[in-house]
Amino acid sequence: MSEKVKVVPCSGIGKVHGLLARELALKVANELCAEITETPCLAYIVTEDPEIKEKIANGKCVTIDGCPKMCAAKSVAHAGGTVAEELKILDILKYYRGIQPGDATALNDDGWKIVDETAIKVAERVQQVYEGEV
Ligand code: SF4
């Protein structure tokens, strides 16, 4: 059996983009791909604890970042993990121009629609990563 795919959102707070990243990761990891994913804490990865370094060194990661700083993708790579897919909330929002998804504390109906629709696409990629196609 393959290693579970690590789905790692950034820890952005203060803007809706970080919230979208986290909710998207949770939808994929807890609902759509629960059997083949896990969600290690980004802060734990940043501290480069030997246990988490070993964990992410095995298998592949899908990162979801709220802004161009790309904290999740960079942190995983810095800790020795393999980022199979780097997702950017700003890229996702290009498909939803003009829509306000909520605020830093709560998504509105449009925000949840973005999460639900995007999670289906992300789940397909996660499945491909798990099966070694990516
Ligand atoms: S990627 Fe951007 S939003 Fe996410 S934690 Fe880093 S600075 Fe914050």
Tell me how far apart the alpha carbons of residues 42 and 35 are, in angstroms, rounded to a whole number: 20
* pLDDT for res 1: 60
| Best residue among 46, 65, 91 to mutate for probing ligand 1, ranked by most atoms within 8 Å of CB | 65
**CA 1 to centroid of ligand 1, rounded, Å:** 33
Residue ranges of domains in the chain, CATH in brackets? 5-130 (3.40.50)
Give the H/E segment covering residue 66. none
In sequence order, which ranges of the chain are alpha helices (DSSP H)? 16-26, 42-46, 50-57, 71-78, 89-93, 109-130
Q: What does each of the 134 residues of the chain score in pLDDT, given as a tens digit?
A: 689 999 999 999 999 999 999 999 999 999 999 999 999 999 999 999 999 999 999 889 999 999 999 999 999 999 999 999 999 999 999 999 999 999 999 999 999 999 999 999 999 999 999 999 87
| Best residue among 42, 70, 71 to mutate for probing ligand 1, ranked by most atoms within 8 Å of CB | 71
Give the H/E segment covering residue 85. strand 83-88
Cβ neighbours, 10 Å, residue 60 = 21
In short, whether 66's Cβ falls inside 6 Å of ligand 1 is: yes
Ligand 1 atom at shortest distance from the alpha carbon of 67: 2
Query: Would you call 32 helix, strand, or coil by DSSP?
Result: helix
